Amino acid sequence: MELLIVTLIGLMLIAALAAVEARDLLSSVICLGAAGFSLSVIDLLVGAPDLALTQVVVEVVALVLLIRVVVTRRDTSSSAPRDALRTGAVLLAGGVLLVAAAFSVGVFAAGKAGVIPPFGQPLLAGKGPVAPGVSKDYLGKAADETGAANVVTAVLLDYRAYDTLGEATVIFASIIGTYAILRHVGRREAPADAPAGGAKGG
C-alpha cells in the first residue's frame, strides 16, 4: 500500500514538472489535470472518500475554466532564456525547505521519531511525541451527540461549524471578486471614442 502511494506521488511530481515546463499551454493544463486525478486516487487509498469525490469534480470544473483561458489565444509560451537568478533562488530556498522537512520527519534523528509521526501512525493513536488531540473524542462521540454516521460531516457542520461559515464567506468573496473583475463588458459597447476605461471619463 505504501509503495502504491509512493508511486502515485511520484506520478504527480512528474505530471507537475511536465505541466510547468511544457511549451504549449494546453498541454500544461492537461498535465495539471493528470496530477489532480492522481491526487484523487491517493485520497481514495488513504481512506478519505469525501475528498476523492470532491477532488474529482473540482478537477473537472477547474480544467474547464483553465481551458477557457488557454483557448483565448493558443500561443506557446515563449522560449525566453531561463531566468538564472530566480531559478537559483528558488532552488536554494527549496533545498533549505527540504532539509527542514527532513529534520521534522526524522531523517537525522537517528531512529527516533521526528516532529511529524511516521506515516501510518496518526497523532490520535497516542504513540507520537505529542499527546493525542480531540480526534479520538470526535470519533467516539459523533454518532451519539450529532447523529451523523459520517464523522467528517459531523466535524465540519457541528463541532467546527464556525470554520465552515468562514469558508462559505471566503468562497462568497472570491465569486464576488470574479463578478467585479468581469463586470465592465457593457461599457465597452460604446462606439470607439475613448481608450480602455475612458481617461476622460467616457
Partner 1 sequence: MSMAIYLLTFGLLIVGIYAVVAKKNVVKIIVGVLIIDYAVNLLLVLVGYRTGGQAPIQAADETAAQMATVAVDPLPQAMVLTSIVIGLALTALMVAMAIRLHEKYGTFDMDRIRQLRG
Partner 2 sequence: MPPEEGMTPIVRNTTRLVSGFIVVFGTYIALTGHLGPGGGFAGGVILAAAGALVVLSFGRRVSSSLITEPTCHVADAAGAAGFLALAMLGYMVGGFFVNFLPVGRLHRLDSAGIIPLANLAILVKVGAGLVGAFLALSAFRPGRRSVLDDGTADGRDGRREI
Site for partner 1 in 118-147 (CB under 8 A): 118-125, 133-136, 138-144
Q: Residues 45, 58, 130, 134: which binds partner 2 (CB under 8 A)?
A: 58
In DSSP notation, 44-90 reads: HHTT-HHHHHHHHHHHHHHHHHHHHHHTTS-PBPP-PPP-HHHHHHH
- Would you count residue 34 as binding partner 1 (CB under 8 A)? no
- Would you count residue 4 as binding partner 2 (CB under 8 A)? no
- Would you count residue 48 as binding partner 1 (CB under 8 A)? yes
Tell me if 89 sits within 8 A of 96, measured CB to CB.
no
What is the nearest approach in angstroms of partner 1 to the Cβ of residue 163?
Answer: 7
Other CB atoms within 10 A of residue 38 CB: 20
- Would you count residue 19 as binding partner 1 (CB under 8 A)? yes
| Cα angle 131, 136, 138; round to 5 | 130
C-alpha cell of residue 94:
527549496
Tell me if 158 sits within 8 A of 150, measured CB to CB.
no
- Would you count residue 149 as binding partner 2 (CB under 8 A)? yes
Residues in the site for partner 2, rule: CB under 8 A? Answer: 49-50, 52-54, 57-58, 60-61, 64-65, 68, 72, 143, 145-150, 152-154, 156-158, 161-162, 164-165, 168-169, 171-172, 175, 178-179, 182, 185, 188, 192, 195-199
